[in-house]
Structure 1
């Protein structure tokens, strides 16, 4: 889904995003969403640098930054495949969500988080799933339940 020659983590395809000052940046597309007014927005992530103290020595380390951009500021890149980008429409609440977390290199924690569909703590790319798929994901070693909405009990109840 990503360009093979890029150092991305394979979460999504790349696009060009035009910033308000006219700069064009290459950004990974995580999600697209249609709002109530019909407008489309794209959640994208770029990697910037941040200061990190490693044993008393300051180092610049990669730091992913996610933001929403209106579709008018996003341009596709030839050869990128956007078919698998999670797409949602306003007013539709999924019963279960799987979040693919965007993490800086070396950052600890699960790559996937399972949420209830109405959870407000989802921060990265998400996919709507049925309860069976949510349970399958929850059983993976790189997955965990959201510590806010804690969907495991509700999933067990639905699957029984």
Structure 2
């Protein structure tokens, strides 16, 4: 075992208390949470259940499988002492929503292209930047061009 494994931080997701329709309670790992338009928190949760796997040679064996589901508050309750801060997104001005990537081979129009992160034209080796950094890149002295396919400049010019 490597020394790096011993120093790895505990990144297990926080737990929450879930009330099942029949009144039973269980603890589930919180994968994500978000608010709907009415302000209600919805939680994406995961539990691990025992399961059976059949093997022709050795017969049935015990295994497990993960089940994911979604439920709102108050069906899902926070557990005192659990840290839910890892689930919160950074404020909008700190979110890295754009990708700067080198141009495709043979393209001499720009040194760097600005893309939406899910753009198929973006190279995977490019770095992610915030809205402000993207605006500065487009206005800066380097030749940075908006991708002609995903058009990030149309969103950035309206300050979204």
TM-score by length of 1: 0.50
Work out which structure has the larger RCO, using CA pairs closer than 8 Å and 6 or more positions apart in sequence.
Answer: 1
Structure index of larger Rg: 2
TM-score by length of 2: 0.50
